[in-house]
Structure 1
Amino acid sequence: MSTTEIPRLDAASLRADFPILDQLIGGERLVYLDSGATSQKPRSVIDAEVAFLTRANSAVHRGAHTLAAEATDLYEDARATVAGFVGAAPENLVWTSGATAALNLVAYSIGNATAGRGAPASAPLALHPGDEIVVTESEHHANLIPWQELAARTGTVLRHIPVHDDGTLDLDAAASVIGARTRVVAFTHVSNVLGIVNPVVELVALARAVGALTVLDACQSAPHLALDLPALGVDLAAFSGHKMLGPYGVGALYGRTEVLEALPTFLTGGSMVTTVTLDDAEFLPPPQKFEAGTQPVSQTIALAEAVRYLQNLGMDAVQSHEHTIERRMMAGLRGIPGVRLLGDAEGVSRVGLASFDVDGVHAHDVGQFLDARGIAVRVGHHCAKPLHARFGITASVRASASVFTTEDDVDALLEGVSGVRAYFGVGA
């Protein structure tokens, strides 16, 4: 085998690693195409969490007994594993309860800087009336509403970069929207509706040119692409465990060292302090200063196991496999009469995700029709209402792949969607 050849994933064999897939839904084989909402977990991830809870369960960074020391070691080893997965050092990775919590942490921390907390190191992050925060039209609500709230609290202006009709970002508009008053540029790496990989390097360059902070939502890229966040040049990035074969209740915030040091604290309490008096407190350095209270210890350990599972497969192999699935899915949906693909752009990088509208049939009805055939998809606005409004619809159907998605799964989806309009008596 040449050094450039990428191994192929045997997705059909990988299904055996995921216990939940070994069942029938309404008498039909389960075709799970909702990994964009939450991924299924391989047995090794489930076992890793159970093993911790049954053999090493204890609070971390608190006790001096054997279990506490072992739990702390496992917890910090998990941090190193997950940080390495995205190209970062352990001290640049903050544990959170998920990406939503990570993005809110950043927005509220900047708000604290604006209120004068953490000065003088935090002063450069402070916002002032007339300053601008820039997002894109394709953001998940978790990377939109925190910035709306921050703008409302600080008197800043929230602006957005529009998308073209094919779903790609309008970079010409971005160059005019990002300007001298821009202080924050927050954007998704991969749209959870369109599946399109956004041009991170170009957006970072525009932000850097005006001294703006960049915040990346990497929820839909971390499970599917080989990530090197420092190489991308972003200041901060958030991702969640449950979308990348890991458990619920855990996610991470990546940050460049100087940015994490400058951000004021958000949540305060135990485990993130050095000195406390009745009148004042001093905080630990990052990442611990952002990790107040009891942490999701078993979840971090299970997430590290999910990372090891993906690393054993090879992220190049994962990306290649999902590219094959994406092309088959997009081409098939494109050929079904009455189906409109959202973000049907040519020549762009994508992950294995497609959202579509079936003419004359509500997305929820399409989802129920497919579910009766054992096919699990997401229906609704996918926490991206403004983007759906941009395309003139209130809801869509989304099919999203993972490492265990097979071509047979895609064919089952296509066969199901092909029968939707006839079943509901729509069209010729």
Structure 2
Amino acid sequence: MTTLADTRPLDHLADFPAIPDGWRYLDSAATAQKPRAVIDAIARGYGETYATVHRGVYQRSAEMTVAFEAARQRIARFIGAGDPQEIVFTRGATESINLVAHSWGNTHLKAGDRVLLSMLEHHSNIVPWQLLRDRTGIEIDVAPLTEDGKIDLDAVAAMLTPAHKLVALAHVSNVLGSVLDAKRAAELAHGVGAKLLLDGCQAVPRIPVNVAEIGADFYAFSGHKLYGPTGIGVLWARPEILESMPPWHGGGAMIDKVTFAKTTYAPPPARFEAGTPHVVGVIGLHAAIDYVDAIGLNAIHAHETALVKAAREALSAINSVRLFGPDDSAGIVSFGIEGVHPHDIGTILDESHVAIRAGHHCAQPLMAHLGVDATARASFGVYSSEVDVEALAKGIQRVTRIFG
């Protein structure tokens, strides 16, 4: 049995000024709190070194351009990309997936082609493909889950055909915390000539990711779940794929030459980064990656795994609690209490200064599969500890007393 003492390998709460003493923040899967290093980098970016990038001929602009592109290099190393030019900056994973659907999907998919998703996908990895279906006539298939809430790759293997051109899956579920065997998913997709897109939002803050070792074709994630700023995200894709994709936004920065007769476009990644970029967001994301790497993703994963195990054991001891997802989930515990709406759970926990998420978590098809309208969700970060687990369990016990 896991004891709460087993959950103490990390102690970084002091790095996070927005978490006051006595407040238990258990909503990291929605957005992570920001360490002082990131806050300071953002403050410097706006208060000391700010300038536009790629265009100015003065020294400040040149220095900011160097810092901006250094962040691209840092992100490439962080996810095992071969070349920084494979990194496209977006506003977040939602925009990254929409970019792929609009640019690559409109260009390479046609009526009769098929896209394979799974039952646990976030709406951001469902709706863009439905919109593409409405535009082009592609078909969408949905892979089932195993009994413990993982994407059933045996079923995926049986479902895939040469008509499938894309497999788009969550690397880590935002509801269940279940971890995909991403390398096997890539092998299955490539076995029928399909590409693999991974939604890495919940993966990059929690487990080591190497896109080359996985064999993925597209990888998307958001900065704010990785202890970085909001409004900045990343799309990685293989260089030959990016070269085959037309721009999807037009304007400054993505052009080669503009005339009223014709416009030619810059090579990737600039082709997909129209307009003035979120310069300071990129700087903040660089600082966040440095912060996470200094701790080590293996250490973070071990820490969160221990907290998940302790939380599941504490909650499973309460008879009216139903747990969802696998025992080895990555940093996330979803649950319900018989006869109590998750919103009521969240409200009562908030009275005890415990912040969780309650709702459908932008995964309504998964909720329907689970037979519920919503779940309560606790999710951990590097600032979480055994004290948070104790507060959560104590708060759930109070909920059950209130509702009898």
TM-score (structure 1 length as normaliser)? 0.91
2:48 pairs with 39, 55, 68, which one?
55
Q: Give 1:135 deviation, angstroms.
A: 0.5
- Which string of whole-angstrom CA distances, capped at 9 and with x for unpartnered residues, describes residues 145-186 of structure 1? 001111111111111101133212222321122111101110
- The 1-side partners of 2:333 and 2:9 are apart by 22
Contact 2:183 2:213 in 1 (8 A): no
Q: Give 1:67 deviation, angstroms.
A: 1.4
Aligned to 1:11: 10
Aligned to 1:118: none
Instruction: Show the 5 A alignment for 1:37-48.
Output: 37-48=30-41
Aligned to 1:165: 147
Q: Give 1:259 deviation, angstroms.
A: 1.1
Instruction: Show the 5 A alignment for 1:192-231.
Output: 192-231=174-213
- Which string of whole-angstrom CA distances, capped at 9 and with x for unpartnered residues, describes residues 341-392 of structure 1? 111x35xx52111101110000000000100000000000000000010010
- The 2-side partners of 1:360 and 1:53 are apart by 49
Q: SS where residue 168 of structure 1 aligns?
A: coil
- The 2-side partners of 1:186 and 1:111 are apart by 12
Q: SS where residue 21 of structure 1 aligns?
A: coil
Paired amino acid for 1:44: A
Paired amino acid for 2:10: A
- The 2-side partners of 1:304 and 1:171 are apart by 34
Q: SS where residue 141 of structure 2 aligns?
A: strand
Paired amino acid for 1:193: V
In the alignment, does 2:404 pair up with 1:411? no
For structure 1, the residue ranges without an aligned partner over 5 or more in a row are: 1-7, 24-28, 114-125
Q: SS where residue 340 of structure 1 aligns?
A: strand
- Which string of whole-angstrom CA distances, capped at 9 and with x for unpartnered residues, describes residues 387-413 of structure 1? 010010000000000001001111110
Q: Give 1:136 deviation, angstroms.
A: 0.4
Aligned to 1:102: 96
In the alignment, does 2:334 pair up with 1:355? yes
Aligned to 1:5: none
2:288 pairs with 275, 290, 306, which one?
306
Paired amino acid for 1:18: F
Aligned to 1:283: 265
| 1:231 to 1:9, Cα distance in 2 relative to 1, 3 A | farther
User: Identity over aligned residues, as a percent?
Assistant: 43
Contact 2:346 2:356 in 1 (8 A): yes
Deviates more, 1:374-383 or 1:200-209: 200-209
Instruction: Show the 5 A alignment for 1:5-154.
Output: 10-12=9-11, 14-23=12-21, 29-88=22-81, 89-113=83-107, 126-154=108-136
Contact 1:9 1:317 in 2 (8 A): no
Q: Give 1:81 deviation, angstroms.
A: 1.1
- The 2-side partners of 1:268 and 1:103 are apart by 18
- The 1-side partners of 2:302 and 2:333 are apart by 17
- The 1-side partners of 2:283 and 2:98 are apart by 23
Structure 1 consecutive aligned stretches of length 4 or more whose deviation exceeds 6 Å? none
Paired amino acid for 1:158: I
- Which string of whole-angstrom CA distances, capped at 9 and with x for unpartnered residues, describes residues 188-216 of structure 1? 00000000101211211111011111110
- The 2-side partners of 1:375 and 1:399 are apart by 10
Contact 2:8 2:385 in 1 (8 A): no
1:402 pairs with 370, 381, 384, which one?
381
Q: Give 1:10 deviation, angstroms.
A: 4.9
* Matched positions, count: 397
1:245 pairs with 206, 222, 227, which one?
227
- The 2-side partners of 1:47 and 1:135 are apart by 39
Paired amino acid for 1:374: H
Paired amino acid for 2:153: L
1:319 pairs with 286, 301, 309, which one?
301
- The 2-side partners of 1:374 and 1:192 are apart by 23
- The 2-side partners of 1:49 and 1:216 are apart by 28
- The 1-side partners of 2:275 and 2:106 are apart by 19
Contact 1:92 1:254 in 2 (8 A): yes
For structure 2, the residue ranges without an aligned partner over 5 or more in a row are: 1-6
Q: SS where residue 151 of structure 1 aligns?
A: helix
CA RMSD of aligned residues (A): 1.3
- The 1-side partners of 2:226 and 2:71 are apart by 15
Contact 1:112 1:266 in 2 (8 A): no
Q: SS where residue 176 of structure 1 aligns?
A: helix
- The 2-side partners of 1:107 and 1:231 are apart by 24
- The 1-side partners of 2:132 and 2:56 are apart by 38
- The 2-side partners of 1:247 and 1:169 are apart by 30
